[in-house]
Amino acid sequence: MARRFVVQADYFSDAVANLATGSVRRFSIAASAPIVSGLLAPFVATLLPEDPFIEPRSAEHLALDVMLRGGVDAVISPVGPAPEFHRRVVGRMPLRAFVQADHAWAQARRKAIGVADLLEHPLIASSEKAVGRRLLDAARARLGLSYRSIRECDDNSTAIANAAAGKGVAVLASPPAHGAYPVDVWEEPDRPETALAVRFFMAWHPQHHALHVIEDLARRIELFFLHRHCELPSNP
């Protein structure tokens, strides 16, 4: 409670200063550690001198709504926010299977793999708390299939590194790394409309004192994500 009051006091102080000067000096965005390092920090590097100072707050996905109610200006998460908040889809990351560079899929330049074919291989995946893993679990359940072999690793970079070393097929919603070859995962082969992907939401309070700043940042983050990952966010 004390921490929440301190955050709210800072938020109130910033709001007063922003309203007095007509500008936003500091802006806090909460997200998980991988999103902070993989998306938010690279985006911050593109900001202009007149843009607000972006203060990241690292937290687990399920804690972000609480932080939004407690005073952070916005959150970015693959978990949809509560209905009381405004939201915008700022990115979409396909679920990918990463394999060693000399794997047969890489040699054949495969672009996609069906879930049934994927499950025939030893997998490396995040634990069930990850949204990408839950997507894979749901697709497997819908098809009535079982995992033959799966190892859990909650660090995406390490999981992909293990795949690059030939330790298995890493299945993650993550950009390529470590020279591993990426293959998109489709629930059903030859049906691109069944491609599995994680959407990333930016959410904020509808009565925020600097809505114009949030909406502008959300739009720019969306464009940055599109340029960086070439994935359409599919906003309505």
- Indicate whether 114 and 170 sit together in one domain: yes
- Indicate whether 17 and 84 sit together in one domain: yes
Strands (E), 42-162: 53-58, 74-77, 86-94, 96-99, 112-114, 123-125, 150-152
Residue 211 in any domain: the answer is: yes
Residue 236 in any domain: the answer is: no
Element (H, E) at 172: strand 169-172
Q: What is the residue range of 57's domain?
A: 2-92+199-229
- Indicate whether 16 and 39 sit together in one domain: yes
Task: Determine the Cα–Cα distance for residues 153 and 93; give it in Å rounded to an integer.
Answer: 19
- Indicate whether 67 and 113 sit together in one domain: no
Residue 235 in any domain: the answer is: no
Tens of each residue's pLDDT in the chain, 236 residues? 676 566 556 555 555 555 444 557 889 999 988 888 888 999 999 999 999 999 998 888 777 888 888 888 999 999 888 899 999 999 999 999 999 999 999 999 999 999 999 999 999 999 988 899 999 999 999 999 999 999 999 899 999 999 999 999 999 998 899 999 999 999 999 899 999 999 999 999 998 888 889 999 999 999 999 888 654 444 33
> What would the pLDDT profile of 79-108 be if each residue is shown by its tens digit?
888 899 999 999 999 999 999 999 999 999
Domain count, the chain: 2
Hey, CA dihedral for 128, 223, 214, 72, is it positive or negative?
positive
- Indicate whether 116 and 187 sit together in one domain: yes
Task: Determine the Cα–Cα distance for residues 94 and 229; give it in Å rounded to an integer.
Answer: 10
Phi, psi at 88, each rounded to 5°: -145, 135
- Indicate whether 208 and 155 sit together in one domain: no
Residue 234 in any domain: the answer is: no
